[in-house]
Amino acid sequence: MTATTMTSGPKKQHLTRSLAFVALPLVILIWALTDLSLGRTLVEWIPYLASGFMMNILISLLAMTFGTVIGAIFGILELAPYRLVRYPVVAYVQIFRNAPHLVLIFATTYIFPFEIVIAGNYLPFPDWVKAVIGLAIPASAYVAEITRGAIQSIPTTQWEAAQGLGFSRWQALRYIILPQCVRRSLPPWMNLFSSITMATALASLVGVHELLHAATDASTAVRRIDFTIIAYIVVMAAFFALCYPISRLTRRLERRFNAA
C-alpha cells in the first residue's frame, strides 16, 4: 500500500506538471478548431505575435546579461574594505532594488533622448534599448545582493585557508570564493531571470513592439471579442512556456544542491 502510493505519488505529480504545461496550448488549439474562422485569423496573426515575442526574449537576455555582469561587480564592491567605494554601491543597490520595474522603464524612456549625436552623426536610441536599461538596472541591484549574500555565506575558514597558503585577497576571491558562489547563487539568479522575463511585458506601456503590445495591436485590428481573448491566452501561454522551464530547472538545481 505504502509502496504503491510512494511510486504513484511522484508519477501523479509529474502528470499534473505536464498537464499544466500543455493546458494553455490545448485550450487555444481546441478553441481554434471548434471555430475555424477564429483559428484562421489567429494563424494569420501568429507571425506578428511571434515577432513581438522575439523582442521580449531579446530584452530579457540583454537585461540579464548586463544586469549580471554589473551586479556581480557591484556585489563584490559592496564588500570592499574602502568606504568610498562601498557606500555609493550600497546606495545604488538599495535604491534600485526597491524601485518598481515599471517606474524604471518609464524613467529610462523619458530621461534618455530618442537619438544620440556622436561626432555629428545622429544615432537612433530606440525605446527597446531604453527598456533593456530600465530592466538591467533593477536586475543588477538584485544580482549584487545575490552575489554579496553568496560571498558572505562562504565560511571565513575558506578565506583563512587561502590566506595561509599565500593567496592574495583578490586571488582568494577569484579562485576559491567566487567559484563556490556560482553554485549557491544559481537558484536565486534563475528566479530573477524568470521575473525579469515577465517584466519585459511592461515595455509595451512605453510603446516597445513586444508580445503584449503586438496582441493589443492585433485585437484592435481584428475587433472580435473572442479573438481578443484568445490572443491574450496566447500571450500567457508564450510567457508560461518561457518561464516555467526556468522555474522547474531552478527547483531541480536547488534540490540537487541541498542533497550535496
Partner 1 sequence: MTVSPDNAMTTTDGKAQDHIVKLEDIHLSFGQTQVLKGVNLTVNKGDAVSIIGPSGSGKSTLLRCINALAMPQRGRITVNGTRVDQLTKESERIELRKRVGIVFQQYNLFPHLTVLDNIVLPPTKILGVNRAAAEKLARELLDKVRLSDKANSYPGQLSGGQQQRVAIARALAMKPELVLFDEVTSALDPETVGEVLQVIRDLVRDGMTSILVTHEMRFAEEISDTVVFTENGLIVDHGSPEQIFHTSTNPRIRQFVGGLGARGTVRDGEGI
**Span interacting with partner 1, options 70-78, 88-96, 178-186, 207-215, rule CB under 8 A:** 178-186
> Which three cell numbers mark 237?
501561454
Kindly identify the residues of this chain, within the stretch 195-224, that bind partner 1 according to CB under 8 A. Answer: none
Nearer of residues 46 and 165 to partner 1, judged by Cβ: 165
Of 37 and 158, the one with the shorter C-beta distance to partner 1 is 158
Place of cell 501561454: 237
Cβ 147 vs Cβ 181: under 8 Å: yes
Per CB under 8 A, does 157 bind partner 1?
yes
Question: Of 19, 36, 21, which Cα lies nearest the Cα of 226?
Answer: 36
Is residue 112 helix, strand or coil? Answer: coil
Number of residues lying near partner 1 (CB under 8 A): 18
Q: Are 199 and 135 in contact (CB under 8 A)?
A: yes
Q: Among residues 8 and 163, whose Cβ is nearest to partner 1?
A: 163
- Among 189, 187, 163, smallest CA distance to 177 is for 163
- At position 257, the amino acid (one-letter code) is F
Candidates 20-28, 83-91, 164-172, 231-239; binding stretch for partner 1 (CB under 8 A): 164-172
Q: Does 107 bind partner 1 (CB under 8 A)?
A: no
Question: In the beta sheet, which residues pair with residue 118?
Answer: 121
Looking at 39, 62, 180, 246, which residue binds partner 1 (CB under 8 A)?
A: 180
CA atoms of 258 and 58, how far apart (whole Å): 32
Query: Which DSSP category does 99 fall into?
Result: S
- Strands 115-118 and 121-124, by their bridges, are antiparallel
CA distance 49 to 46: 5
Nearer CB in complex with partner 1: 30/85: 85
The separation between CA 106 and the C-alpha centre of its own chain, rounded to angstroms, equals 18
* Among residues 9, 175, 248, 257, the one that binds partner 1 under rule CB under 8 A: 175
**Which region among 87-95, 171-179, 233-241, 249-257 touches partner 1 (by CB under 8 A)?**
171-179
- Residue closest to 170 by CA, chosen among 71, 67, 79: 79
Range in contact with partner 1 (rule: CB under 8 A) among 16-24, 86-94, 95-103, 162-170: 162-170
Minimum CB–partner distance for residue 245 and partner 1 (Å) = 26
> Is 171 near partner 1 (CB under 8 A)?
yes
Which of 47, 179, 207, 245 is the binder for partner 1 (CB under 8 A)? 179
Point out which residues bind partner 1 (CB under 8 A).
157-158, 160-161, 163-169, 171, 175-176, 179-180, 183, 260
